[in-house]
Chains A and B, each alone.
Chain A
Amino acid sequence: MPNPHSAAMLQLNDVSKSFGPVVALRSVNLEAHAGSIHALVGENGAGKSTLVKIVAGVHRRDGGDFVLDGQPQDFGSTAESKTAGVAVIYQEPTLFPDLSVTENIFMGRQILGRGRRIDKAAMYAEAERLFAGLGVHIDPRRPALGLSIADQQIIEIAKAISLDAKVLIMDEPTAALSGVEVERLFTVARQLRDEGRAVVFISHRFDEVFALCDTVTVMRDGSYIATRPIAETRIGEIVNLMVGREVADLFPKQETEVGDVVLDVAGLTSPGVFHDVSFSVRRGEIVGLAGLVGAGRSEIARAVFGVDRYAAGTVTMKGRPVPTASPHAAIRSGMAFIPEDRRQQGLVTDGSVAENIAAVIRQHLTKGGLLTRAAENKAVTPWASRLEVKTSSLDAPARTMSGGNQQKVVIAKWLASEPDLLIIDEPTRGIDVGTKSEVHRLLSELAGQGMAILMISSELPEVLGMADRVLVVCEGRLTAELSRDEATPERVMHAATASQEMAS
């Protein structure tokens, strides 16, 4: 148990961080003590990763206090944070695959022997000592290539210990581990705790949080919500703290008449990514695809739209099969896809506003086979106007716009194609609150006009507020289908972590 009277090893007070107009952290507090394992939980997008990156020296905070072992800190690089005694173990470590395990541990600070030559023997001995201390068996001479993710994490931990890290942050370390590997990691984590280090453990799995940690801090929307000793709380309370928000007023969902099936997906399977996914979306209906990041939601959408291939299953639009692996065919069948990564996939950022909005419809703007700028500009104007795109001229490059305005350009591009089905992945990620509600109002209005909408979102309130029906994806499988009335934050979160609870 942490001693509340001892000074905290890591202390963050009222830390804030913005990226341009987007506020990632409003005000966050975190106090991690030596000899304690502190859980940090929150929905996707709550700001956990940003917080980790500030402690790790990747980002600089805009405001607030950051104290490490009694010393105020302001890291400008990851090297500074490492020297100060912070180590971050990521979900998927990035080792040098062609170097040996030992070389990875001592990267950049090799043990030198006589004549400033690298003393390999001493390094192997030290690596063996570290592994023995952790109670694991990894050959220090083998190359890192081919090691399991669990072993790679152990190597990162060994590296942290050899640097004598005082604070170890584990960012969702168990997401890709098997049951046995999780147990081994827990043993190591407890040992680190008993050695008097402060461990911060980030996880979506409540059973792990309750089995391993002694204190839990909840974050939501970039803000600190509460800290509780594990012994004095329950899963239910934590879930409420994570999602507790008035949902209904924020989202202007219209009641709509649900019509015929537009999209029908049956038995869609891509080995290792998603398995036997079947669902349909009807005219006038918003279907929310919820789940944790990495559950396979975006991958399902990409396969439906034909960006990725799938091994088995069928995609049918308005009763007609859609050929696989062809976005062009998907567009012709009446699909539109607004991807999550706006800058890489949604937009040609160096292209102009007009070029971007005309990108899908330009096939139909030719006269006598010729396409002119004038024809594009004419076709684009009503859509830019409808979405209230803010731009000085139609030939301004999209890269100069704000995130919200760029999203409007992407939406305009797809609405111009007058689709029957709109797939929209993270519709409001990284855009300001004002534009956010504009997008929500628009989606609701489009559904009201009879468009079928498949919306992927990691923001639970957005899913619950907008969707007529919620499909929950967990580890590549649909684990729940909930109607608007049935969909509560607790039930969605439950289904999103379902198989993990069954496994434990």
Chain B
Amino acid sequence: MSEKTYPAYAHPLWRRLLLSREAAVIALVVIISMWGYSNIPYFGDTLTLTYLLLDMTTILLIALPMTLVIITGEIDLSVASVVGLSSALVGLLHEHGLGMAASCLAALVVGLVCGAFNGFLVAYVGLPSLAVTIGTLALYRGIAVGLLGTTAVTDFPTGWTDQAATIIGATGIPTVMILFLVLAVVFILLLHFSPFGRGIYDIGLSSEAAQFSGVDVKRTKLLLFVFTGVVSALAGIYFTLRYGSARGDNATGLELQVIAAVLLGGVSIFGGRGKLPGVIAGVLLIGVISSALRLEGVTVNVINIIIGLLLVLSVLSTSVLAWVSDVAARRSRGKAPSQTPAGVASQ
């Protein structure tokens, strides 16, 4: 039998790249930056870039594993509480004379345990992640506040706190971005260039079909919740050093900002769709818009309203795009040659 070949893609590369959701978000970031550069005083300063990135680092970090969790169709609302718990723990241990390195390591281990607890309840007990992580959101935050009470630990060694805000040369880019880039590359390879990552998409699109193809759905979900736990703890350490303050109520409400950025970056809340480059652009888009508006003297409340509207619009546009492509697909199928007429083979 002669081998039939198939075109790999329905559309050429440029079209797939330029008409993707990710391209739209990246384009928005670029356009707003360029507009701000020429129209808003101080927007072009390296200091603006530095503060923008320093402020967004926590969200950037947590958005990486959160994207994977949301693509499987689950959600983790406990991340900000893990940030708080990690922060409180670092403060408490440091206060009790444990070295900084050991304190940070302990915080990471606790983050892992927090994530594993979420993951166990979701994957192996079979509870809905929305309910589980609403519960652990309160639980972990409660423990965090319980550890330090209303006090804050601030006497961290300056060597460590300075490190959190250093800048690479004259670029204005904070050194911590190197850590983020390394993690981003790891997560991109994991999601987009590994069998494990394909399994994540399969689970989000059809968990049952994934299971029938041999994907270990439970183990995958458990691992992803462990990832969000560990990375949230890491973000908690950064948060503590960056502001030089360990508090149990650090980063309260951050989980919603992370999820908003992930959705803005093109990830479907129903799972199965979305890409990490889009998510990174989504976080940056929020950062660029807020800092541009802030420099223009717009108040925080108005900024929140604008970002909220943007999110609603972006979700709406996804639905509209899906509907349009569905109609187009149905049309082209209607034109396709009809099926083998019934009865031909039974002669």
Contact = CB atoms under 8 A, between A and B. Distances in A.
Main secondary structure of the interface of B (DSSP, over half): loop
A293 to B, nearest CB: 20
B186 to A, nearest CB: 12
Given A327-B214, A370-B189, A348 B5 contact: no
Given A348-B210, A359-B202, A433 B343 contact: yes
A355 B345 contact: no
Interface string A348-364: 11110111001110110
Contacts of A327: 211-214
Interface stretch (B60-68, B107-115, B190-198): B190-198
Interface in A433-475: 433-438
A73 interface: no
A479 B233 CA distance: 59
A388 interface: yes
Interface in A321-354: 326-328, 330-331, 337, 339, 344-351, 353-354
Interface stretch (B6-14, B23-31, B42-50, B152-160): B6-14
Interface residues on B, range: 35 or more
B212 A339 contact: yes
B344 interface: yes
Contact of B194 (A369, A396, A437): A369
Nearest to A305: B212
Contacts of B197: 371
B194 A348 contact: no
Interface in B190-238: 193-195, 197-198, 201-202, 205-206, 208-216
A371 B201 CA distance: 14
Interface string A378-408: 0001101110100111111100101010000
Given A328-B214, A360-B213, A392 B10 contact: yes
Contact of B329 (A21, A400, A402): A400
Given A395-B9, A435-B340, A371 B213 contact: no
A395 B214 contact: no
Given A348-B202, A381-B3, A366 B345 contact: no
A275 to B, nearest CB: 25
A345 B208 contact: yes
B1 interface: yes
Q: Which of A330, A373, A382, A433 has the most CB of B within 10 A?
A: A433
B301 interface: no
Q: Which of B205, B339, B346 has the most CB of A within 10 A?
A: B339
B15 interface: no
A438 B345 CA distance: 9
A216 to B, nearest CB: 27
A67 to B, nearest CB: 28
Contact of A434 (B202, B208, B210, B340): B340
B36 interface: no
A377 interface: yes
A250 B346 contact: yes
Contacts of B329: 397, 400
A432 interface: yes
Given A393-B10, A400-B333, A434-B344, A366 B194 contact: yes
Nearest to A399: B329
A350 B272 contact: yes
Contacts of B272: 350
Contact of B342 (A369, A382, A432): A432
B209 A347 contact: yes
A393 B9 contact: yes
A307 interface: yes
B96 interface: no
A370 B193 contact: yes
Contacts of A337: 212
A433 B211 CA distance: 30
A23 B342 contact: yes
A434 B3 CA distance: 21
Given A21-B339, A351-B202, A434-B344, A381 B193 contact: no
Contacts of A348: 201-202, 205-206, 209-210, 213
Contact of B198 (A331, A369, A371, A435): A371
Contacts of B7: 392-394
A372 interface: yes
Contacts of A388: 4
A350 B9 contact: no
Q: Which of B195, B206, B215 has the most CB of A within 10 A?
A: B195
B209 A346 contact: yes
B347 to A, nearest CB: 9
A391 B10 CA distance: 10
A307 B212 contact: yes
B201 A351 contact: yes
Contact of A413 (B3, B9, B194, B213): B213
A303 B17 CA distance: 44
B5 A381 contact: yes
B345 A331 contact: no
B208 A344 contact: yes
B206 A385 contact: no
B8 A371 contact: no
B8 A433 contact: no
A344 B209 contact: yes
Nearest to B337: A390
Contacts of B343: 433
A347 B205 CA distance: 10
A359 B9 contact: no
A432 B344 CA distance: 10
Contact of A371 (B5, B193, B209): B193
Contacts of A360: 213-214
Given A348-B202, A400-B329, A402-B339, A395 B10 contact: yes
Contacts of A438: 345
A382 B3 contact: yes
Contacts of B8: 354, 373-374, 377, 393-395
Contacts of B205: 348-351
Given A381-B6, A392-B10, A433-B343, 13 more contacts: A326-B216, A344-B208, A345-B212, A348-B210, A349-B206, A350-B272, A358-B198, A371-B195, A373-B8, A377-B8, A385-B5, A394-B8, A434-B344
30 contacts: A23-B342, A328-B215, A348-B201, A348-B209, A349-B205, A350-B205, A350-B206, A358-B198, A360-B213, A362-B198, A365-B195, A370-B194, A371-B194, A371-B197, A371-B198, A372-B193, A373-B8, A384-B4, A392-B10, A393-B6, A394-B8, A395-B10, A396-B10, A413-B213, A432-B342, A433-B344, A433-B345, A434-B342, A434-B344, A435-B340
A-B residue pairs, 7 tightest by C-beta: A434-B340, A385-B4, A437-B345, A393-B10, A21-B339, A359-B213, A331-B214
